[in-house]
Structure 1
Amino acid sequence: MASPFSPASSLSPAASSSSTSGQPLVEKPPVPPVNILPSPTSQIYSFVQPTLLLTLFAFRFDALTANPARELLNSLPWVLLLQLSYVMVCLPPVGTVPSPSSSKVTDTGSPVPGDGERKSAPRSPSSPSVALRPGKPGYRRKQQTGKNVWAGIWAKLMPAFLSLALLSLLATPVLAILLVLFGAPLTTQNAETMLCAAHMAVLSATALIYVHGVDGAAWKEVWGFALPADTVWGGALGTGLGAWFGAIPIPLDWDRPWQAFPITILVGAYIGYAVGTLVSRSPFLYGKRIRFAPEDNEIAEKKKN
């Protein structure tokens, strides 16, 4: 039986040129896995942040059991603050990760440079800080100024604002509808349903929006469960699976106060997020994709045999 995971480097064929023109086939590569930023602060905080989330949730669990709606509303800003600090410190913002809509691969497997890419100019052997361009005099590199620093900060703030907008306008309502479809009360406990959806949206969608923005090709892979395993996709998938498994104790006749909706769902979502964020970075899963069908080459080999 074939493994359900496949390497992220395998390319899915996408027809793009007519056979009459004689041009080589052009394929769009899949979305690459997202890496944690290499700075020591990012690496350390990527492990600290899931621990802080679980600690906050465990510390406020008694209050959540006593009054779920009030506690979910009070803790939501803190969870959102932890998530925004995590994505801004640890993850590359949208536009810095290659996407299928901005890059192409030829039939030989070599990437086609985009319009914004520049080839490295030859440098003068006598002055390593001077770059020479054909037909233009040499110029010296500009040192990093305050304007460049603010541009870097703004490049992180804009995706964060985009995440806030889409979390409230799209992610939370969609997850609330999914909760109702999976058995949440329709006419009662509406506040608990919306707040549970808001917490799940913050956990699962903040990093996805911050890294991928509104790129259509990336979100097709999100809804098709085709993204490669990384800390972003692992956290989102872990949140959904954890919430699904967390709903199991609700209908059981144990007569416990913590069985009330949506407490166990949130317990599963938070644990699933923390586990998925960390486990998906392991060498055994990183960069692998879930496969629901065999590859084309496997089908061809079976037909030959």
Structure 2
Amino acid sequence: MASPTPPSTLTTSGSPSQAPAEKPSSPPVNILPSPLAQVYSYAHPPVLLGLCAWRFEGLVADPVRELLADLPWLAALQIAYVMLCLPPAGTVSAEAGSATDEEKKKTPRSPAGPSLRPGKPGYRRKHSSGKSSWASAWAKLMPAFLSLSLTSLLATPFIAVLLVLFGAPLTTHNAETLLCAAHMALLSATGLVYVHGVDASVWKEVWGISRPADAVWGSALGTGLGAWFGAIPIPLDWDRPWQAFPITILTGAYIGYAVGSLISRTPLLYGKRIQFAPEPAEEGEKKTN
């Protein structure tokens, strides 16, 4: 006689013990496919490094004056970069767009396509290119200025507090700290806000350092790591004028931005995530063994 099936092995499709499906993570950000975007996306990091190297002597001589004078140029370059090279928040990525185009090509068309008006064969509808171009420019301009505003109002004070917590002077060099934070915010946060907006799920991944590698996330992470390593020469007893706060920190942030933006687009890192713990499947296998 067959033994009854244990209750623990009985499963139903509508069992309440099943975990709810998690929201899928947003994919890595692709640079826009236009030739101008592809070329400038590689030229932008060297341009910023050139600006930093060109103004380095002035930065050593008078950090506050130089940082304040370079801030509008950095903001203009970052706005130009995001508008030319990145998809604004809420738009479909280039890969998704190409996939839909291929599907449209595969689907057969009827002899009387949607471009023909009924009753007037051979007459195609005229699209107003002027309105579409203005709409396209406005769709890029609004997120760009929104990202610049949120970066200035939110990211700059937040990074300034982080700089103080990590050792920046609290009672002195307040102008240097604030201006250094403004430069770091423009480098790291402008692209993130422009591409992801205020999506809470994406920003949880940003704070958890679990975003898939792409040009935007790589540049932001590189800015932070570069500033971290840039602080190393400050306490050394070399007695060099360029060791003063925040010169090395800001120089490291610029170098980290350029390196992170470029290497995160390589096939070795693109789309990969930083793993701090083993996957749940691996943990289960260890328990069973």
TM-score tier, shorter chain, comes to: 0.7 to 0.9
Q: How many Å separate the matches in 2 of 1:297 and 1:97? A: 32
Aligned mates of 2:220, 2:255 — CA distance in 1? 12
Q: Which has the higher strand share?
A: 1
Paired amino acid for 1:125: S
Partner of 2:35: 40
Shift of 1:96: 1.1
Aligned to 1:299: 283
Superposition pairs of residues 263-302 of structure 1, within 5 angstroms:
263-302=247-286
Give identity over the alignment, percent. 68
1:126 aligns with 2:141: no
1:85 alignment counterpart: 80
Task: Identify if the C-alpha distance between structure 1 residues 189 and 30 changes in structure 2 by more than 3 Å, giving closer, same or farther.
Answer: same
Give the counterpart of 1:29 among 2, 10, 24. 24
What per-residue deviation string (whole Å, max 9, x for no partner) do you get for residues 82-125 of structure 1? 11100000000000157xxxxxxxxxxxxxxxxxxxx97x8753
In the TM superposition, 1:6-21 aligns within 5 A as 19-20=15-16
**Residue in 1 that maps onto 2:132:** 148
Separation in 2 of the partners of 1:143 and 1:171?
41
Give distance in 2, aligned partners of 1:220 and 1:141: 46
Is 1:162 the equivalent of 2:157?
no
TM-score normalized by the length of structure 1 = 0.80
Q: Which runs of 5+ in 1 are unaligned?
A: 1-17, 99-118, 133-138
Going by fraction, where is helix more abundant, 1 or 2? 2
Q: Could you list the per-position Cα deviations for residues 278-297 of structure 1 after superposition, in whole angstroms to 9, with x for gaps in the alignment? A: 00000000000011111111
Cα deviation 1:42-68 (Å, max 9, x = unaligned): 000001111110001101100000000
Superposition RMSD in Å = 2.4
Distance in structure 2 (CA, Å) of the matches to 1:147 and 1:72: 40
Counterpart pick for 1:203 among 172, 176, 187: 187
Shift of 1:25: 4.9
Give the Cα–Cα distance (whole angstroms) in 1 for the partners of residues 17 and 236 of structure 2. 65
Q: 1:234 aligns with which of 218, 226, 229?
A: 218
Change (3 A) 1:286 1:131: farther
Displaced runs of 4 or more, over 6 A: none
Residue type of the alignment partner of 2:136: G
Give the CA deviation at 1:240: 0.1
Letter of the 2:52 counterpart: F
Residue 35 of structure 1 deviates from its aligned partner by 0.4
After TM superposition, the score normalised by the length of structure 2 is: 0.85
Deviation, 1:165, is 1.2
Matches of 2:242 and 2:169 in 1, distance apart?
17
Instruction: Please say if 1:58 is aligned against 2:53.
Output: yes
Q: Which string of whole-angstrom CA distances, capped at 9 and with x for unpartnered residues, describes residues 213-270 of structure 1?
A: 0111111111010110000000000000000000000000000000000000011000
Letter in structure 2 aligned against 1:26: A
CA–CA distance in structure 1, aligned partners of residues 235 and 113 of structure 2: 71
Per the alignment, do residues 169 and 192 of structure 1 end up closer, same or farther by CA in structure 2, a change over 3 Å counting? Answer: same
Q: Secondary structure at the match of 2:276?
A: coil
Listed as ranges, the gaps of 5+ residues in structure 2 are 1-13, 94-102, 118-122
2:182 aligned with 1:187: no
Query: 1:230·1:287 contact (CA, 8 Å) conserved in 2?
Result: yes
Give secondary structure in 1 for the equivalent of 2:273: strand
Which of 241, 246, 249 is the matching residue for 1:257? Answer: 241
**Cα deviation, residue 131, structure 1:** 8.4
TM superposition shift of 1:19: 3.7
> Which sits farther off after the overlay, 205-214 or 145-154?
145-154
